[in-house]
Chains A and B, each alone.
Chain A
Amino acid sequence: MLGFALRRILVAVGVALTVSVASFMLLHLSGDLATAIAGPEATGEQIVAVRAQHGLDQPLVVQFGAWAWRALHLDFGRSFYFPEQVTDLLAARMPVTLTLGVIALAVALLVAIPLGVLAAFYRDTWLDRAALAVSVLGQAMPSFWFGLTLILIFSVNLRWLPVSGNATWKHFILPAVALGYYAMPAVMRLTRNGMLEVLSSDYVRTARAKGLPPRKILIRHALRNAVIPVIALAAVQFGFMLGGSIVIEAVFSLQGLGQLAWESIARNDFPVVQAIVLVLAMIYIALTLAADLLNALLDPRLRS
């Protein structure tokens, strides 16, 4: 296990490094940084001065080293658009996206796990098929349109929930449902397949033979074992959701990381875009690492 863990951690560090290079290049492909920092009215001499001041006349490798060192200390430089440091901008927006992600994940798990259990228990009945239909439909629905449709139904017609913004907890319900719906199909299918496997195992048969009530078998014996890979998947899905929240935040005008990224892309504020790409990728790498280690800890077959 230790060997596997070390190898897996090494890969994660390598991937993190590769992703940093990619996101560093993103900033440099976006055009001449010195011109961007100096502003539209700068003279040629000023641009040269800015270039020297920010070390932009150094070789790329040296620049990357300096940038990576600062990024490790959570210093992503200054925004081209806002007077603030990029780190402060991110820190201000992060809670909104994390809140959205956590609620969305909770919604997804609370619907998908029971649905998966029921689908496995009532296999090949109408309930199983209905669960399948929900998941097939979930994969086919454009997220932004689903969000807009939720607004039309619950905010405009029924007037139950606010249309947009992030002032109160009520503002998070519709976006969380729209975002969470996308994690549901995968979680449901994994729960169902895991349950089917566990339900046909020897210890469940023994529990049945002992005459334990079905509900007790289902929850205490089967679900407990089937749910572990689901938790690992949920970690990965959480990473995906943080990346995908950009569309949902745009629909609901939630002032989170995604909205900041979208606006920053539109105004070529690449230090901010780069930092968000990097932060989201790092969160994803950490989550998948945790999920892999968790799975390997519980299933020795995966350690090879």
Chain B
Amino acid sequence: MTIRPASPLAAAPAEIVLPPARSPAALALRRGLSHGGFLIGAGIVGFVVLMALAAPLVAPHDPYAQDVSRRLIPPIWHAKGSVEHLLGTDKLGRDYLSRLIYGSQISLLIGLSAALISGVIGTALGVLAGYYGGRVDAVVSYIVTTRLAMPVVLVALAMASLVGGSLKVVVLVLGLLLWDRFAVVTRAATRQVRNQDFVAAAKAAGFSPVRILAQEILPNILNALIVVATLEMAHAILLEAALSFLGLGVQPPLPSWGLMIAEGKQYMFFQPWVITIPGVALLILVLGINLLGDGVRDITAPEGRH
């Protein structure tokens, strides 16, 4: 991890010795452009984000428009495919490509919001444990151990079923469950940073713990946080798909990719593409997010690379 002095107080002496060469950001960018996995990941994620944002413009049809006379049309590469429905239609005659495009909004929304909620919870716990150590650390470790002992899928299903499955509930349930890795990683990163000179300087200057945590610690563990955030985004997207597949996540007629696989399950023996298309979409998106995260880790911490 690159340690950047965050407060002007600590940065002052460093600025004198710094050569006027490249900034850390430019250096990271250069490393990023020569890192294959990072480029592929960024490309995939960028493409899916664009697709989600421009869904109303790029989707050829209304994703909810049913047409019983055009049910289960195979995709274009199939002999019976039609140009009008490039990826075919589902059991209700809805255009598969349009549903796939709108479905990317759901996956990204759930991944981002769940990672944001769990990130806030986990980072708060981890930073406190890492900074104060001792009793606080013991309590946080205890909470994390307890959380890890609960079977995630089962508890998420039970919670979703109690409240009733919906997009909002899935986001909340996953956000409240997936913070453990945030806590573990930020705790370790904070322990590394807290003994640095600039933290001691801030303490000596009489800054409040809140200010030290927010201005000295947080900016310096940001890289580790971003890496965990990508991992948990991917995790949340996969779990949402699994919950929706089991019928307790996002509800029809929303075009969640997991739900599309569940709806296609009974037709998969004769129309295998109904599960292959959303499955491959999930695989590619999660792969892209993971590659992006691994890339950020390599770029920001080249000495930790194996």
Which A residues fall within an 8 A CB radius of B? 11, 14-16, 18-19, 22, 26, 29-30, 136-137, 139-145, 148-149, 151-152, 156, 193, 196, 242-244, 246-247, 250, 258, 261-262, 265-266, 268, 273, 276-277, 280-281, 284-285, 288
B:264-306 near A, CB below 8 Å: 265, 268-269, 272, 275-276, 278-279, 282-283, 286-287, 290-291, 294, 306
Partner pick for B306 among A22, A29, A193, A244, CB 8 A cutoff: A193
Stretch in B120-128, B168-176, B205-213, B238-246 with 4+ CB within 8 Å of A: B238-246
Question: Contact: B245 with A265, CB < 8 Å?
Answer: no
Question: Contact: A140 with B283, CB < 8 Å?
Answer: yes
Which B residues fall within an 8 A CB radius of A? 142, 145-146, 148-155, 157-158, 161-162, 234, 238, 241-242, 245-248, 258, 261, 265, 268-269, 272, 275-276, 278-279, 282-283, 286-287, 290-291, 294, 306
- On chain B, the residues within 8 Å of A139 by CB distance are 234, 286, 290
Nearest CB of A to B88, in Å: 17
Question: Contact: A277 with B158, CB < 8 Å?
Answer: yes
Question: Which secondary structure dominates where chain B touches chain A?
Answer: helix
Cα–Cα distance between A97 and B287 once the two chains are bound (Å): 29
Cα–Cα distance between A223 and B145 once the two chains are bound (Å): 30
Q: A18-B146, A148-B261 are in contact. Are A281 and B151 (CB under 8 A)?
A: yes
Most chain A CB atoms below 10 A, which of B154, B161, B234: B154
Question: Contact: A281 with B162, CB < 8 Å?
Answer: no
Cα–Cα distance between A179 and B31 once the two chains are bound (Å): 36
Q: A19-B150, A156-B269 are in contact. Are A136 and B291 (CB under 8 A)?
A: yes
Nearest CB of A to B283, in Å: 5
Most chain B CB atoms below 10 A, which of A145, A193, A262: A145
- On chain A, the residues within 8 Å of B287 by CB distance are 136-137, 140
Cα–Cα distance between A179 and B238 once the two chains are bound (Å): 14
**Nearest B residue (CB) for A153:** B272
Q: A144-B261, A261-B154, A280-B154 are in contact. Are A247 and B279 (CB under 8 A)?
A: no
Question: Contact: A26 with B246, CB < 8 Å?
Answer: no
Question: Contact: A140 with B154, CB < 8 Å?
Answer: no
- On chain B, the residues within 8 Å of A136 by CB distance are 287, 290-291, 294
Cα–Cα distance between A136 and B242 once the two chains are bound (Å): 19
Nearest CB of B to A36, in Å: 13
Question: Which secondary structure dominates where chain A touches chain B?
Answer: helix
Question: Contact: B162 with A29, CB < 8 Å?
Answer: yes
Nearest CB of A to B76, in Å: 20
Nearest CB of B to A285, in Å: 5
- On chain B, the residues within 8 Å of A247 by CB distance are 153, 242, 245-246
Cα–Cα distance between A26 and B155 once the two chains are bound (Å): 9
Cα–Cα distance between A136 and B44 once the two chains are bound (Å): 15
Partner pick for A148 among B234, B279, B283, CB 8 A cutoff: B279
Nearest CB of A to B135, in Å: 14
- On chain B, the residues within 8 Å of A152 by CB distance are 268-269, 272, 275
A sample of 24 cross-chain residue pairs with beta-carbon separation below 8 angstroms, ordered by A number, consists of A18-B142, A136-B290, A139-B286, A139-B290, A140-B234, A142-B241, A142-B245, A143-B242, A144-B261, A145-B282, A145-B283, A148-B279, A193-B306, A196-B306, A246-B157, A250-B246, A262-B246, A266-B247, A277-B151, A280-B151, A281-B150, A284-B148, A284-B149, A288-B145
Cα–Cα distance between A49 and B177 once the two chains are bound (Å): 38
Cα–Cα distance between A145 and B278 once the two chains are bound (Å): 9
Question: Contact: B149 with A142, CB < 8 Å?
Answer: no
- On chain A, the residues within 8 Å of B234 by CB distance are 139-140
**Nearest A residue (CB) for B248:** A265
Cα–Cα distance between A269 and B64 once the two chains are bound (Å): 34
- On chain B, the residues within 8 Å of A143 by CB distance are 238, 242
Nearest CB of B to A69, in Å: 21
- On chain B, the residues within 8 Å of A273 by CB distance are 154, 158
Nearest CB of A to B170, in Å: 15
